[in-house]
Amino acid sequence: MSTRQTLPTEQPACHPPPESPLAAAGTGERAHRARTEPMTIRGLQDGRTIVETDGGTYVVDADHERCTCPDHAIRGVRCKHLRRVAIEAAAGTIPPAGMREGACALCGDPVFVEFDQPTALCERHSFEPGECVIDRETGSLLIVVAETTDRADERRIDDGRPIAEVETNRNYSGHEPVVEAVYASALGRQTNGRAAKRYGFPASRLRHTDHDPVRGRRLLASHRPAQRADAAG
């Protein structure tokens, strides 16, 4: 199971901190041209980028700092195409190195995802750890533990069934991410030192609420995460 980055302290080590678009270009003549010349940028599924200019069309591999243009291929310099791709990535208009463009499982809006990430949610639909949500099936109040990148039709519960195939999840799509949550009532009860059980839900089964998120975080702080999430009945 993989978990979307959940806490501000858990920045993945492989992604450098975001650079400002201005700094991304560097300085000098090539940086100036990278910023000002008209170029059409198009991301490929494999993470490379097509850069179309008046002078030709080139393929930039930002991960390996490579470009197919003569300036880079022959002279070995950081060409204007590499710089332009760095500018666009820093500005958030194309995926940063190591990521590709995907779509929110609920609304289809574009989101940047890891290459092997099978499902994702946009900013508007994503869940925060500690957030209070309502189970649409039972009306129960739950506290989100984590939004995972596992699909509901792939993550299995103890009896081997995918979460999407549990009766009460039939109204929700299997391609949605699994969101792990604990029942607020279970956190409030004395559990004899045992962690409250965490359950996995297809994302759209959980409804965002206006409840105080601080309360959710406080309840969650007293909760030790269980080994694995099960599907709610």
Site residues (vs Zn ion, CB under 5 A) = 58, 67, 69, 72, 79, 81, 104, 106-107, 109, 122, 125
Task: Tell me the chain's radius of gyration from C-alpha atoms.
Answer: 22
- Calpha distance 149→43 (Å, rounded): 22
Closer of 48 and 72 to Zn ion (Cβ): 72
Tell the smallest beta-carbon distance from residue 109 to Zn ion (Å).
5
Q: Is 64 helix (H, G, I), strand (E, B) or coil?
A: helix
Tell the smallest beta-carbon distance from residue 196 to Zn ion (Å).
28
CB neighbourhood size of 5 (10 A): 11
- Calpha distance 169→222 (Å, rounded): 28
- Calpha distance 21→19 (Å, rounded): 6
Closer of 71 and 154 to Zn ion (Cβ): 71
CB 189 within 8 A of CB 218: no
- What backbone torsions phi and psi does residue 82 show, to the nearest 5 degrees? -60, -40
Compute CA 26 distance to the chain's CA centroid, rounded to the nearest angstrom. Answer: 28
Closer of 99 and 106 to Zn ion (Cβ): 106
The tokens for 57 are: 């069309």
Tell the smallest beta-carbon distance from residue 65 to Zn ion (Å).
11
Tell the smallest beta-carbon distance from residue 137 to Zn ion (Å).
21
CB neighbourhood size of 231 (10 A): 24
Closer of 108 and 139 to Zn ion (Cβ): 108
Helix 29-36 to helix 80-91 angle (10° resolution) is 60
Closer of 89 and 104 to Zn ion (Cβ): 104
Closer of 26 and 225 to Zn ion (Cβ): 26
Tell the smallest beta-carbon distance from residue 158 to Zn ion (Å).
30
Tell the smallest beta-carbon distance from residue 122 to Zn ion (Å).
3
Closer of 92 and 188 to Zn ion (Cβ): 92
Tell the smallest beta-carbon distance from residue 80 to Zn ion (Å).
6
Measured CA to CA in angstroms, residue 214 lies from 6, 145, 217, 218, 221 at distances of: 16, 14, 5, 6, 10
